[in-house]
Structure 1
Amino acid sequence: MRDICIVGGGVAGLAASMFTERAGLDTLVVDGGESILARNASLENYPGFPDGVDARRYLRLARKQARNAGVTFELGRVTSVEPIDESDLEQGFVLETDGGDPLSARRVIAASWPNSEYLVPLDVGRIQRGSKYHVDVDDAGRTAVDGVYAAGRIAGEPHQTIVAAGHGAKVALAVIHDSDANFYHDWVAPEGYFTARDRNIPPGCEEIDDAERRRRDEQARETILEAFAEPLDEQPTMHPSVERE
């Protein structure tokens, strides 16, 4: 049984997965194959990219970051989620998939805009908005069913990449809190930041010396330079209602 199963490999799901995995929670992302962000021609309002970035390149980097953290991925679509024991939700949930073996997880994060049909058996509280359904959540992304959360657009958040990433991280922190993981915050500090003040390094933090800082910076630069070395020969995915010649 996994600690966390995240349904949806878009921005919100990827951001959530990085935080839960780095907090020590075994995390699986069930990826439907393509994020809706792939329809974006140029991502130009995400901080850190002064001239914008190809949305597909950004998604590749985000997936690589999640994998580097230890997140595992499974390609497929979840068709239903049900509790293992309706009288004891702490036993976790069973997720049925289209063609694959059932999955089990102690907690589930829905990040699968616009699909939420698989949540119907749980009665989490879906709110219809036009032809789509949002999931009713509290400020931290918790649904009416203990152990089930929603992040990003499916939780009614604005349709922007930076918002989806931030909300995914926020929901992940709620999951971490509810799981009682030994966690303070995800922070890499310079050597002595805590210990030089006679403080223990908090859970979820680490101190690194200058040599290690430089090594990580060099690795980070190599990764980015390699990622941007060549143009991507990929076209944005057009909206399904538009016919292309």
Structure 2
Amino acid sequence: MRDVCIVGGGVAGLAASIFTARAGLDTLVVDGGESILARNASLENYPGYPDGIDARRYLQLSREQARNAGATFELGHVTRIEAIDDTDLEQGFILETDGGEPLEARRVIAASWSDSEYLVPLDVGRLQRGSKHYVSVDDGGRTAVDGIYAAGRLANEPHQSIVAAGHGAKVGLAVIHDSDANFYHDWVAPEGYFTGRDRDVPPGCEEIDDDERLERDEQARARMLEAFSEPLDEQPTMHPSVAETDTEN
């Protein structure tokens, strides 16, 4: 059984997976390959990219970062989630998919903006507004069902990527807290930051010397140069209604 299964491989789901995986939780992302961000032509309001970044390149790098943190991915769609034992939700949940074997996880983060029908059996508190459904959550993304969380647009957060990423990270932290993982706040400090004050290095933190810092910086720069060395062949995904019109014509 996984510690956490994240339904949706968009910005919110990826951010959550980076946090939970770095905290040592066994994290699986079920990715339908349909992130709304893939419809974006150029992502230009995300901090750290002064001239913007191709949205598909951003998603590729975010998936790579999640994998580097220890998260694993499965391509597919979750069609139904139900509790293993309705009388004891700590036993976890069964997730049925459209192709593979059922999955089991102690906690589930729903981060699939365009689809939430799979949550209906759990009565998590879906709210309909026009043609869209949202899930009612608390400040940590917790729903009315213990062990089920929602992140990003599905939790009625604004659609901008930086907001979705921030909310996904916040929900990931809530999952970490609720799981009793031995985790502090994910901080890489210079050598002596804690030990120089006669303190133990807290869980989830580390101290690195200057040689290690320079080595990590060199590795990061090399990876970014490689990632941006060639233009992407991928094109933005058109809105379904436009695609349908083009097909009809």
TM-score computed with the length of structure 1 as normaliser: 0.99
Q: Secondary structure at the match of 1:181?
A: coil
Offset at residue 161 of structure 1 (A):
0.1
Q: What does residue 91 of structure 2 align with? A: 91
Tell me whether 1:158 sits opposite 2:158 in the alignment: yes
Percent sequence identity is 82
Inter-partner Cα distance in structure 2 for 1:83 and 1:196: 48
Query: Structure 1: any 5+ residue segments left out of the alignment?
Result: none
Tell me whether 1:126 sits opposite 2:126 in the alignment: yes
Inter-partner Cα distance in structure 2 for 1:194 and 1:34: 43
Offset at residue 139 of structure 1 (A):
1.0
Q: What does residue 59 of structure 1 align with? A: 59
- Aligned-residue CA RMSD (Å): 0.7
Q: Secondary structure at the match of 2:211?
A: helix
Aligned in 2, Cα 1:114/1:34: closer, same or farther, shift over 3 Å? closer
Offset at residue 120 of structure 1 (A):
0.2
Tell me whether 1:148 sits opposite 2:125 in the alignment: no
Offset at residue 97 of structure 1 (A):
0.2
Q: Secondary structure at the match of 1:112?
A: coil
Tell me whether 1:7 sits opposite 2:7 in the alignment: yes
Offset at residue 34 of structure 1 (A):
2.4
Q: Secondary structure at the match of 2:105?
A: strand
Q: What does residue 218 of structure 1 align with? A: 218
Amino acid corresponding to residue 160 of structure 1 in structure 2: Q
Amino acid corresponding to residue 106 of structure 1 in structure 2: R
Amino acid corresponding to residue 73 of structure 1 in structure 2: F
Inter-partner Cα distance in structure 2 for 1:162 and 1:99: 32
Q: What does residue 200 of structure 1 align with? A: 200
Q: Secondary structure at the match of 1:64?
A: helix
Inter-partner Cα distance in structure 2 for 1:162 and 1:97: 29
Q: What does residue 108 of structure 2 align with? A: 108
Amino acid corresponding to residue 192 of structure 1 in structure 2: G
Offset at residue 130 of structure 1 (A):
1.0
Offset at residue 99 of structure 1 (A):
1.5
Amino acid corresponding to residue 72 of structure 1 in structure 2: T
Q: What does residue 175 of structure 2 align with? A: 175
Q: Deviations over 1:180-201 (max 9, x none)?
A: 0111101100000000100010
| Aligned length, in residue pairs | 245
Q: Secondary structure at the match of 1:68?
A: helix
Q: Deviations over 1:131-187 (max 9, x none)?
A: 110001011100000000000000000010000000000001111010001111011
Inter-partner Cα distance in structure 2 for 1:70 and 1:173: 16
- The runs of 4+ residues in structure 1 deviating greater than 3 Å are none
Inter-partner Cα distance in structure 1 for 2:185 and 2:110: 23
Amino acid corresponding to residue 185 of structure 2 in structure 1: H
Inter-partner Cα distance in structure 2 for 1:165 and 1:59: 11
